[in-house]
A and B are shown apart, each in its own frame.
Chain A
């Protein structure tokens, strides 16, 4: 069989057309527009001014830092928490199917709905969280108003919503481990911790890599949860790059907004791509 003839490139054309027009062409032209002052009708070339502004103005540059904190922290928490939940949900408990569904369900609820609900739960005076804290005798906490805490409150919510996906990936990874390893290990007298360390963790690595990459990229791109819960505030305390991109768009600074978009590409390219390379290599060795 002539492979080239059977697997014709014609089959790629529909995807290629749509993907090119609505993704690739704008992506490439964004590199140009990020160097301009632009209002859709006309543009003025300003060189790297937009990028300079982005990094010199505190309100914009902090967003880059927040994005990094947000991405790494959500990623780390999901990787660790989901691992233990998955271990628990693959043990010999009867309700594991039900519990898996429960843990996964928040992922199907829209982010905006989750944001609204948690913003209400975290209300400084009336919220349920503070009610619990005050019955426990602790003082009230302004989860979303306290500027040093707000970002972490959103991170907590993000983990709550996203830990289910990570768990499911781990569960499948753990289930695909050959049972005979464990049997051999118990015959050798390995205890639970040793089995976990020497069998489960190394063999679940492919699943773990997927969790790391997925949640890191998700974290770097995150917008809707932050927007629904704090709108980037108070002040600029929870602004991330994608919310800054939106704010500059809303203000009509299209060139600056596009520059923010380009910064986001660069962040992802610089962090996620080498990381994936590294993880794949480790997996193979």
Chain B
């Protein structure tokens, strides 16, 4: 037994060393360089800054009349809007798709499965959005994110529905619920755990999305945080201190989310990936 204890201690130490070298150093690198002056950061070393240049952060936040803050606002609107819509639409769909059988349902299920794999057809989408006058708008962007995350979210809800006993619903009918009340009063509250997962996973995906805003939301006025970061890459190509300050700033929301929901995220990943 003693031998095993020692072995696990060695495991702990090795694990920590490797984790530090491989996963923590890159974050320290971002942090320390975000606090140096331009010259210091451009040397790209891991050393601590001589003087802590906190003003890098104010400079990033006020740069270009606070475009980062505007971008934060936009990203939050898109993320919140899309997540709320996804919860409402996909909980309903997942519920029916799990409970009902038949030919129509297998078509729907096949489409959902295909939607998980197939990438969006970008230019026809832009063309269609122009026709609907929603191209380059936050509303259009929300719709795109909802459409793209729908298969995954339906899959999560459908998977979770299979763990909810149908007897609960039967009891509901006996109490005289109609099908609307059935869903809102009986089923939806039972979906709470998976809804938490849906919120977190979709929020992370949408907040960190770069590719879709790049195509569907070009232009400065509706920029998102990932787009501004990408643009800074060009503008601050010789000011790594500001670049990394921006990296840190836009990573903080995810860090907070992570600290609060650490366990849920992992559970959610597992639920989504394995049960599907």
Contact = CB atoms under 8 A, between A and B. Distances in A.
B157 to A, nearest CB: 10
B151 to A, nearest CB: 8
B147 A22 contact: yes
Chain A interface, >50% SS class: helix
Interface string B109-122: 00100011111111
Contacts of B26: 106, 114, 117-118, 121
The residue in A5, A19, A89, A211 that gathers the most chain B C-beta atoms within 10 A of its C-beta is A19
Given A30-B121, A127-B44, A224 B147 contact: no
B12 A93 contact: yes
Nearest to A17: B89
A108 B258 contact: yes
B31 to A, nearest CB: 11
Interface residues of B, number: 97
B243 A121 contact: no
Contacts of A117: 26, 29-30, 244, 247
Given A7-B96, A12-B97, A29-B121, A93 B11 contact: yes
A126 B8 contact: no
Given A21-B128, A21-B147, A217-B117, A95 B15 contact: yes
A40 B146 CA distance: 24
A121 B29 contact: yes
Nearest to B21: A132
A206 interface: yes
A237 interface: no
Contacts, number: 261
Interface string A6-28: 11110110111011011111110
A265 B247 CA distance: 33
B276 to A, nearest CB: 7
A105 B214 CA distance: 24
Contacts of B173: 1, 6
B11 A26 contact: no
B23 A102 contact: yes
Contacts of B99: 3, 6-7
25 contacts: A1-B170, A4-B100, A5-B179, A11-B93, A12-B96, A12-B108, A14-B92, A18-B85, A22-B125, A38-B123, A89-B15, A93-B15, A99-B16, A101-B262, A102-B19, A105-B258, A108-B258, A120-B44, A121-B44, A128-B45, A165-B273, A228-B230, A261-B122, A264-B119, A268-B118
